[in-house]
Structure 1
Amino acid sequence: MPGRRMVAMLVIVLSTVSLLAGYKAFWIKQQLHILHAPKPPVSVAVAAVIEQPWQHQMPAAGTLKALQGIDLSIEVPGVVTHVQFDSGQTVTAGQPLLQLDNQLEQAQLDIALANLGLARQDFERGKQLVQIQAISKSEFDRLSSELDRHKALVKQSTVALAKKHLTAPFSGTIGIRQVDVGDYLQSTAVVASLQDTSSLYVDFHVPEQAVQLIEIGQSIQVTVSARPGQHTVATVSAINPIVDDNTRNVRVRATLPNPHNRLLPGMFASLQVQLAAPVPQVVIPEGSITYSPYGQYVYVVSQHKKAAGNIAEQRQVKTGERRDGQVIILEGLTPGEQVVTAGQQKLEQGTPIRVTADAVSGNRVGAP
């Protein structure tokens, strides 16, 4: 009896172990099948690798300056009697702007003119007398010298009188006036600013190594933060012939048309110097680039060799200049290929991919 029970228990244990071993083998087989089963394709967005004209540019920063700009002031002190302009007014060259009290200067001019008339009469009378030898030659010379002296005094009084009023030295726009009638102005006191903004200068600096790339007449794309998205083209008009000892930069000046006075002196400008004529370059969207410690790479859409469908091919590339969301590819891609622009984080070498109909985008480059 004890032997039969032991055999029965042994049979039960062996049967249980066999069942567990079979279940484990079945589970392992299922897991291996799942592991080696083909992965479902990953949906990605792609863009075409194209060749487009590309103009190389050099970024810079500058400041806008008026073609002509000064602070108006008067040379002599005095009391303001007339203000002949309004703040923000457009004036022309020679237009009267300000008048100081000039009664004293006018009286001095009147005296000088009266004395000049008397000296001229004496001179004319002396000219007749010296011909008949009624007076000596030295006396006639004295009368001639006296006439010249009074002419100089008239000119002096005329200049002193002219300094009592202010005129516009050039055409432009008056700023906010800083004087009123009755104010006593000291000499050189600022009356207002005058700016000729029909054209502007934009001054910027380039490294001494880049001076050889700048030429007179070269085009520059100008953007100001006050008008985002709007570009204006300036032309290089002057290059400083000396390098700054402290910064090792060279100052460059460009002329910028401003027909509607939309740009103002003092604005900060972002510049793109057009360095050369456009040349064909292979470009892709900048978002296609993936970075790693070993370099930059992209995922290229490639045909599966053994099965139908596309796979992601990881390819290292060498990039160049970037602009407006585009990047130049110097090595690694050829026009006509397609690169993944979205979904790279789900990919690795050989991952099956599916390009959705609405995820195919053209690769466009901004205007050269």
Structure 2
Amino acid sequence: MLRRRMLIMLGIVLLIVLILGGYKAFSIYQQIQMFSAPKPPVSVAATEARELAWQSRLPAVGSLKALQGVDLSLETEGTVKTLLFESGQQVKRGQPLLELDSEVENALLGTAQADLGLAKVDYNRGGQLVGSQAISKGEYDRLTAQYLRNKAVVDQLKASLAKKSIAAPFSGTIGIRQVDVGEYLPSGTVIATLQDLSSLYVDFSVPEQALPKLSLQQQALISVAAFPNETFTAAISALNPKVDDATRNVQIRATLANPDGKLLPGMFANVQVLLPNPRNEVVVPQSAITYTLYGNSVYVAVPKKAENGEQENAADGKPALIAERRFVTTGEHRDGLVVVSKGLKVGEQVVTAGQLKLTQGASIAVSPDKTQKADSNSQPGTD
């Protein structure tokens, strides 16, 4: 009886072991089938490498300066009698702006003019008397000197009186007023700034190696932080004839029109000088480039071929594609595009999104990169 029970228990244990072994074998079989089954293609976005007319640019930074700009000040001291301008006003050349109290100077001028009138009468009378020898030649010379002296005193007082007022030296926009009526001004006090904003200068520096690429009237594109979505066109108007021996840079000046007065002197400017001889280059979106310490690379969508060299097709009947990693030589980049000078041909499809999921030879399903359609007709470098 005991032997029979033991045989039954042994049979049950053996059955359980067989069941567990079969389940484990089935699991291993499923895993083998899963790993051996072909992986579904990785979905990526791609666009074609294009050939564009690419104009190289020389970047620089500079600052804006007014065509004419001064800080208005008086050469003499005095009390402000009249202010003839408002802050931010447009003024014309020669327009009076400020007058100081000049009562003392006017009184002195009246006295000097009276003395000049008397000296002139004596001088004219002496000219008649010396001819008839009624007075000596020495007396006539004294009268002549007195007349000239009084005339010089009148001219001196008129010049001093003119310095009691100030007029606009050129047409432009006057700045914020710094003085008030009744205020005493020491000599040299700045009353306001005057800037001619009709045109502006852009002063910037470039390395001496870039000099052969620059010439007068060459175009440059200007951008400022105040208007990030706008570009202003300038033309090189002067090249400094001396290279700075400390920095080995040469100063360049460009001129740009400012009819709306949007740009102001002192603004920081980003400068892009358009270099001559545009050339056709292969360009791809900047998102297609993978930058590493070992070099820059792109993934290119290429047809998948069977062992016999024939084109394989996907389940939908379209040609099957795989990712091929290529190391490329890149150049200038701007407006979201990068120049590829080596490693890529026009018309090849490059992956622009989903590169992190790819490995060499991975099957891929390509969809157009919709973010590139809006810029497909743009021609960077030809603006």
Q: TM-score, normalised by structure 2?
A: 0.87
Contact 1:208–1:250 (8 Å) recurs in 2: yes
Deviation digits for residues 232-272 of structure 1 (CA, Å, limit 9, x no counterpart): 01112222222333333222221121111111111111111
Distance 2:101 2:372 in 1: 75
Q: 1:300 to 1:67 in 2, by over 3 A?
A: same
Q: 1:359 to 1:124 in 2, by over 3 A?
A: closer
Q: 1:298 to 1:358 in 2, by over 3 A?
A: closer
| Alignment-derived partner of residue 39 in structure 1 | 39
Distance 1:36 1:347 in 2: 19
Distance 1:163 1:330 in 2: 67
Offset, 1:30? 4.0
| Alignment-derived partner of residue 360 in structure 2 | 349
| Alignment-derived partner of residue 135 in structure 1 | 135
Deviation digits for residues 80-110 of structure 1 (CA, Å, limit 9, x no counterpart): 1111111111111111111111111111211
SS at 2:242's partner residue? coil
Contact 1:45–1:360 (8 Å) recurs in 2: no
The aligned runs of 1:113-152 (5 Å cut-off) are: 113-152=113-152
Aligned length: 368
Deviation digits for residues 58-89 of structure 1 (CA, Å, limit 9, x no counterpart): 22211111111111111111111111111111
Offset, 1:282? 0.6
Distance 1:248 1:166 in 2: 43
| Alignment-derived partner of residue 283 in structure 1 | 283
| Alignment-derived partner of residue 61 in structure 1 | 61
Distance 2:172 2:12 in 1: 111
Contact 1:55–1:279 (8 Å) recurs in 2: yes
The aligned runs of 1:96-107 (5 Å cut-off) are: 96-107=96-107
Quick check: 1:366 aligned with 2:380? Answer: yes
CA RMSD of aligned residues (A): 2.7
Deviates more, 1:262-271 or 1:323-332: 262-271
Q: 1:330 to 1:132 in 2, by over 3 A?
A: same
Q: 1:13 to 1:179 in 2, by over 3 A?
A: closer
Q: 1:191 to 1:178 in 2, by over 3 A?
A: same
Deviates more, 1:324-333 or 1:141-150: 141-150
SS at 1:127's partner residue? helix
Quick check: 1:336 aligned with 2:352? Answer: no
Distance 1:184 1:45 in 2: 73
Unaligned runs of 5+ in 2: 307-311, 314-319
> Which residue of 328, 337, 350 corresponds with 1:326?
337
Distance 1:286 1:107 in 2: 78
Q: TM-score, normalised by structure 1?
A: 0.91
Distance 2:39 2:379 in 1: 36
Deviates more, 1:124-133 or 1:275-284: 124-133
Distance 1:134 1:291 in 2: 107
Q: 1:361 to 1:188 in 2, by over 3 A?
A: closer
Contact 2:46–2:368 (8 Å) recurs in 1: no
Quick check: 1:72 aligned with 2:83? Answer: no
The aligned runs of 1:1-368 (5 Å cut-off) are: 27-306=27-306, 307-308=312-313, 309-356=320-367, 361-362=372-373, 363=376, 364-366=378-380, 368=382
Identity of counterpart residues, as a percentage?
55
Deviates more, 1:223-232 or 1:127-136: 127-136
Offset, 1:14? 9.2
Deviation digits for residues 310-342 of structure 1 (CA, Å, limit 9, x no counterpart): 111111111001111100001011111110101
Contact 1:46–1:361 (8 Å) recurs in 2: no
